[in-house]
Structure 1
């Protein structure tokens, strides 16, 4: 019997079990995340505020360093040489709350610091394989194997530059460089100016970019499966951050990934793990750890 037709808006889910209930009702379940711990500043209580507002994972940094840790892409270089002391506190607080720690965007040193400190598996919500595409945003094989040992998941990012090393494209490069000169380094832009800059960059990319394909994306999934196993890989779109590839530029086209997985011989059970099973396992583990911590705190 086919699932009920979705006619209602999606609902936010706060636990794996509530997500399953929402799905059984024929609705989409959305788990909220915070991409960049910067808004926490140096206030550890903000982490629980994020959690209470529904956030169930947080990416520790974004494209620049913050008070929590170093970014993998800050042009100024490292500030903390990994996690800061406050960042260590943040990871422990997230563990205690049942909030998944997201290591995408953070530096290699910060990545290993997180694994040394976290009591539960962590996720790389939208990263790919450095062995196939040399990019600081991607994870090396050693990092993927360390993530496996931790029990975590790397979710392959649907963003062309993280899947395939870009071919020389001087027209696109010069166009984007001119846009960036027009707006400066972005630090002092208003929200409207930032949106305008992004719109102009995306328009240039749409016109000139040579995108990676769905096959390139599944090559990254294959790579993780080959070196770590089927239980440690997922998919992270990044559609709101420039993510798109030829054949998958929006949610409506994500079925093309499943088609390619089937073409390569992945079973239904394996595909379910890739699409949701693996990351839900990590969230269940985070929830269980937090519940155990809370129970322990009630003991005399």
Structure 2
């Protein structure tokens, strides 16, 4: 997830355009039937940020062109998404006692938001804690709710909190986000590298995640961090929402050599749909300036009641109408996906679209469009078994490996 103002600028084109069937493949009835049979998991859902929005109901259907949202229970059912990793995201703030304390409180509240949402709808959702839980919950027709931490800034100075969040149900954890922190370097900090990978505390972070049985997530972290995680971790690494540098050379994307190293250690890249990382956007400084001014005027959109959000969207559309731009479409997303599949094989690729955190492209605006992913993979000649691995088997294999290692380590201690 981006900082609020930057995220709103990035989403500008997406909310300006009506939903469209294309580009991308047409989803045939046969492909849709196959898609519905699969256990489908997205490894990076920022949707919990919406759970506390005034007047917003995860169980009701929404139009993202009116309220920014991309995932809710009705749209998950329509798109055939069975669940995924719901993110406990905290923006990087000051690395001070006060900043860390505020971040810790925010992360704990977000974790409670997820648990309370599931507890309020036990007939429709269920928390998942092990790899085996996915099939069991799917068989009940419920949404599978794993939890992850994006940016471990809230844990700064207290690695013991990782065990606390593990007890809450967190099973995937990434050290950094847009900026460097006490654990690791970010791939996008304007200040450049601080630790040249993991800090000394970050190396202990890797060991503790292994001990507990958490998947280590290198998305947003620097290339050096990925290299060091691969060297240090006793279990496979995941990139929960990343892209391929060979398709678009962006710091958030991963080069082919590192993708091969990731796969060689059993890891998985989950392809995202975040426009800034898929292709170079058409620049429009005037549009971005007006959008920034609008967002500064209204404050945090997630705190606004529905009527004010709708009014905000109307103003946004008026600005964007003056500055028609471009953003990546489904076909550009597919280039990243198909490149990864060709390079490392279907045992090492998955889906992490960054919904409600800035993900989405023309032709895949919200979760209802994800059957197109199944269609494009099938059209490329991959088997039903490959699809099962891509949509959930690979990430569950990585989680199972983390569980097995943790049990073995516990038995030895």
TM-score, reference length from structure 1: 0.87
Distance 1:133 1:206, change over 3 A: farther
Deviations 1:184-207 (A, max 9, x none): xxxxxxxx9344799879947976
Deviations 1:32-83 (A, max 9, x none): 0011110001111011011111100012111111110011111111221110
Unaligned runs of 5+ in 2: 1-32, 38-73, 78-120
Report the equivalent of 2:337. Answer: 221
Please say which of residues 229-238 and 192-201 is displaced more in the overlay. 192-201
For 1:227 and 1:168, locate their aligned partners in 2 and report how far apart those are by CA, in whole Å. Answer: 31
3-state SS of paired residue (1:239): coil
Deviations 1:249-288 (A, max 9, x none): 2111111211222222222111111111111111111111
Distance 1:95 1:240, change over 3 A: same
For 1:18 and 1:226, locate their aligned partners in 2 and report how far apart those are by CA, in whole Å. Answer: 30
Higher relative contact order (CA 8 A, sep 6+): 2
Residue 63 of structure 1, aligned match among 172, 175, 178:
178
For 1:216 and 1:9, locate their aligned partners in 2 and report how far apart those are by CA, in whole Å. Answer: 34
3-state SS of paired residue (1:57): strand
For 2:320 and 2:138, locate their aligned partners in 1 and report how far apart those are by CA, in whole Å. Answer: 34
Pairs within 5 Å for 1:1-300: 8-176=123-291, 178=293, 182=296, 193-195=299-301, 203=316, 208-297=324-413
Please say which of residues 148-157 and 208-217 is displaced more in the overlay. 208-217
* RMSD (CA atoms): 2.8
For 1:139 and 1:196, locate their aligned partners in 2 and report how far apart those are by CA, in whole Å. Answer: 32
Query: How far is 1:170 from its partner?
Result: 4.5
Distance 1:206 1:61, change over 3 A: farther
Q: Which runs of 4+ in 1 moved over 6 A?
A: 196-202
For 1:71 and 1:218, locate their aligned partners in 2 and report how far apart those are by CA, in whole Å. Answer: 26
For 2:410 and 2:220, locate their aligned partners in 1 and report how far apart those are by CA, in whole Å. Answer: 30
Please say which of residues 213-222 and 139-148 is displaced more in the overlay. 213-222
TM-score, reference length from structure 2: 0.64
For 2:337 and 2:389, locate their aligned partners in 1 and report how far apart those are by CA, in whole Å. Answer: 12
8 Å contact from structure 2 (residues 238, 269) kept in 1: yes
Aligned residue pairs: how many? 287
Distance 1:18 1:240, change over 3 A: same
For 1:176 and 1:81, locate their aligned partners in 2 and report how far apart those are by CA, in whole Å. Answer: 35
Query: How far is 1:220 from its partner?
Result: 1.2
For 1:215 and 1:266, locate their aligned partners in 2 and report how far apart those are by CA, in whole Å. Answer: 17
Report the equivalent of 1:189. Answer: none
Report the equivalent of 2:49. Answer: none
3-state SS of paired residue (2:356): helix
